[in-house]
Homo-oligomer: A and B are copies of this chain.
Amino acid sequence: MKRNPTLLKTDVEVPLTIAVKAINEQGEAVDKYIACERPLTVYLNWQPIVTLMTLGARAESLALGYLKNQGFISDVKQLESVIIDWDVNSAAVLTKESTADLDEKLSEKTVTTGCGQGTVYGGFMDGLDEINLPQPQLKQSMIYRLLKNINEYNETYKNAGAVHGCGLCKEDQITGFVEDVGRHNAVDTLAGEMWLNQEAGYDKLFYTTGRLTSEMVIKVAKMGIPVLLSRSGATQMGLELAQKLGITMIARAKGRHFLVYNGAENIEFDDMPPKRAAK
């Protein structure tokens, strides 16, 4: 049995894409890759908690991040082991931490699906009031360098599509990147890695290809990260939460375009692109 969570890196590798035949609009058979999707049932101290449908890239971090984000576990020092077994599609997490209130948490009948995306137990919204994020100092030129660096990731997406990518970034460098068929799985995976490594969030940026909905903003705030950068758009609740929690929220970030929905005062516009001629 794996007893040391630092063995996380030994995660069994599973294929992330498979080759399939498709018929295109010419009626021709073409070779394509599609993203893998596999169930992963997460057990905490032998009790089943959730079955996640995942790409499976970093299942150990995903299981931990999910449990951490839902408030089931909190103390990394008491974590005993994480064992992924793809033969039975399970992630077994053992902790010495008290999970006596597990039944109570699981029996809170109201399950929230943030954007119909992800499963949220009662404890999810707890502790938001205690979050105190620092005010970041950002430069437009740094954001552009970061976006350029991120282009080198998204490998499964480039190959097969149908996945979302998330990146943990420090200035213009990507310190962690993961893709998953569920965008919330990708966030949870990075949250799990940060938690396991006890990495601070205050000096980080969080990049996602996904939309900035309420659940996404809450998760990033819980990671202690003050900047959220997305290729996609934002929703009203995502924006309201970003305003309330003091998250600098940059949406539609692609190429040299972006829209700052919150915290523009934290950005130095030092690299404005030439204005497009008015039509």
Q: Which residues of B contact A176 (CB under 8 A)?
A: none
Contact A162 B116 (CB under 8 A): no
Q: Which residues of B contact A39 (CB under 8 A)?
A: 112
Given A34-B239, A53-B113, A233-B161, A26:B183 Cβ within 8 A? no
Given A27-B269, A116-B117, A111:B51 Cβ within 8 A? yes
Contact A50 B180 (CB under 8 A): no
In chain B, what residue has the closest Cβ to A103?
Answer: B109
A264 within 8 A of B: yes
In chain B, what residue has the closest Cβ to A26?
Answer: B272
Contact A272 B34 (CB under 8 A): no
**Number of contact residues on A: which range applies?**
35 or more
**Docked pose: A222 CA to B141 CA in angstroms:** 50
Contact A30 B183 (CB under 8 A): no
Q: Which listed residue, B160, B235, B260, touches A233 by the CB 8 Å rule?
A: B160
Q: Which residues of B contact A97 (CB under 8 A)?
A: none
Contact A184 B106 (CB under 8 A): no
What are 15 contact pairs spanning A and B, CB under 8 A?
A22-B251, A27-B269, A34-B261, A35-B236, A36-B235, A37-B213, A37-B236, A38-B237, A50-B112, A53-B116, A53-B215, A111-B119, A113-B117, A113-B184, A116-B182
